[in-house]
Structure 1
Amino acid sequence: MAKRDVSGRYRGSIAGFGWSFFTPLLMLAVYTFVFSVVFQARWGVETGGRETFAIILFVGIIVHGLFAECVNRAPTLILAHGNYVKRVVFPLEILPLVALVSALFHTAVALAVLLVAQLLINGAIPWTALLFPLVLAPLVLTTLGFTWLLAGFGVYVRDIGQVTAILTMVMLFLAPVFYPVSALPEQYQSWIYLNPLTFIIEQSRAVLLWGHQPEWVGLGKHLLMGALIAWAGFWFFQKLRRGFADVI
């Protein structure tokens, strides 16, 4: 189903799967131009210039993109498959999993582009890049939990789709995507860690770009929290699904 979901998105288009490459590259080019050229933003990295800024920025976009794609699709997942609710006995809880696997495919494509850029710009890819799946695991669980939760509530409250679009945009700018945490005033730095994307973005840059191992203790805490969110989201989804047929 995930394979069909990905292929269906590009069916009939001329570029086909090429859009999975072109879209993140286009957004990267726009963001890099706006922040590094127009606003003259710097990351505190002395070498590399705009190219280095671009790959640092790209890591944040990849992490946020995974979360945003699933959360923005979640409120309409069940509504878009109403025939599964009414006519057949179908495990509806796998629909958020399908959306997650589809998003992970696009994440993998963007990651491949990032690693090629890292190799061309810096001449090497650190071995710690192999640890990236471990760093991403807490976010995958957290995203799955929110997707289950929002997919369930989205059946009853159709306005949730509008809220998630705003929420994911807010989370983009309240995470260290376009700026390092150190650029914030000290009294605000602790608050930005309330955003679940902040820790993952920072650790992703550490393993993909800087060659540092992740903070294992912090990673373990976020993995536990992600597991709890996933469990809670699944539990709420199973409770809410009992009325799907009546509402749809």
Structure 2
Amino acid sequence: MTQSSAMRDANPLQLLRSLRKHWHLLLIMSWRDVVGRYRGSLMGMVWTFVTPLLLLLIYTFVFTVVFKTKWNVETGEQGKATFAIVLFVGMIIHGLMAEILTRSPGLMLGNANYVKKVVFPLEILPLTLFLSAFFHFAVSVGVLLLAMIVLGHPLHLTILLLPLTLLPMVPMLLGIAWGFASIGVYLRDIGHLTGLISTVLLFLSPIFFPVEALGEPYQQLMALNPLTVIIEQSREVVLWGRLPDVSALAIYSVVSCLLGWFGLLLFQKGRKGFADVI
């Protein structure tokens, strides 16, 4: 594929036309991915609820009892309950990115039958991965709301702003899916690297500790983490009832859109050789 052809196919308007034409296929394949993950298991999709809850209990115990992480919350059982909710917000946002990071490198290899079809719209395969990951994220948000009610944490009206707070992250996640799906065809080792990146992000994001607990130089470095702004602003609207920082989200949106476009460009540039390599 020539440079001009790749640039043309990476045009967002061209992508929107493809989505409008194949939206039904996108939805069917996304749901098939969600259901297929639990095919043959005894509990089925119940694991969607059990897994995040189990991790939440383990991490809450480790970081409140073993490591005694300090947050600006009251002590005692109520404080631990608040910490669990604070922790869960960060966990589910990291989980959304982690699923896309770890699964995208093998996406084309796992769908070789589609890759080798001349007329199949390959650009929607990373979108099916995103929608599947977002489905599990939405279930986790439901679990979060239920936990807040059970634990007696107030539900603020600002929680309705959560979708707008998460929206700036979407282009970047799509760019990650497109980019690593393309790279994974030619460089099979990338799957090991993305798994490592996911683990690093888990412990270097403000999930188990507040940004304020770090010194000024480290806070500036933490701001470069792609999860920091989204996690912090999501906690603002969900837990503390405060409006998000619009300027921070606006800057994040610009960078996210650029990364999303770059990932799409990388995918369109590499897709011509997918069938030959696979």
Question: Shorter chain as normaliser: what TM range?
Answer: over 0.9
Alpha-carbon distance between aligned partners in 1 of 2:197 and 2:271, rounded to the nearest angstrom = 24
Aligned residues: 248
Equivalent residue for 1:53, pick from 61, 73, 83: 83
Alpha-carbon distance between aligned partners in 1 of 2:236 and 2:201, rounded to the nearest angstrom = 21
Equivalent residue for 2:257, pick from 206, 211, 227: 227
Alpha-carbon distance between aligned partners in 1 of 2:216 and 2:146, rounded to the nearest angstrom = 35
Tell me the equivalent position of 1:116.
146
Alpha-carbon distance between aligned partners in 2 of 1:95 and 1:123, rounded to the nearest angstrom = 39
The answer (yes or no) to whether the contact 2:82–2:153 under 8 Å persists in 1 is no
Alpha-carbon distance between aligned partners in 2 of 1:136 and 1:169, rounded to the nearest angstrom = 21
Alpha-carbon distance between aligned partners in 2 of 1:139 and 1:34, rounded to the nearest angstrom = 29
Runs ≥4 residues deviating over 6 A: none
Alpha-carbon distance between aligned partners in 1 of 2:125 and 2:143, rounded to the nearest angstrom = 28
Q: CA deviation at 1:88?
A: 4.4
Equivalent residue for 2:96, pick from 54, 58, 66: 66
Tell me the equivalent position of 1:7.
35
Alpha-carbon distance between aligned partners in 2 of 1:37 and 1:103, rounded to the nearest angstrom = 31
| Per-residue Cα deviation, 1:108-154 (whole angstroms, up to 9, x for no partner) | 11001111111222353111111111111121211110110000000
Question: What is the TM-score normalised by the length of structure 1?
Answer: 0.97
Report 1:78-227 matches (<5 A). 78-227=108-257
Question: What is the TM-score normalised by the length of structure 2?
Answer: 0.87
Residue ranges of structure 2 left out of the alignment (5+ in a row)? 1-28
Instruction: Give the match's secondary structure for 1:152.
Output: helix
Equivalent residue for 1:41, pick from 52, 69, 72: 69
Alpha-carbon distance between aligned partners in 2 of 1:210 and 1:141, rounded to the nearest angstrom = 26
Alpha-carbon distance between aligned partners in 2 of 1:88 and 1:9, rounded to the nearest angstrom = 27
Alpha-carbon distance between aligned partners in 1 of 2:141 and 2:189, rounded to the nearest angstrom = 33
Q: Which moved more, 1:39-48 or 1:201-210?
A: 39-48
Residue ranges of structure 1 left out of the alignment (5+ in a row)? none
Alpha-carbon distance between aligned partners in 2 of 1:28 and 1:46, rounded to the nearest angstrom = 19
* Percent of aligned pairs with the same amino acid: 55
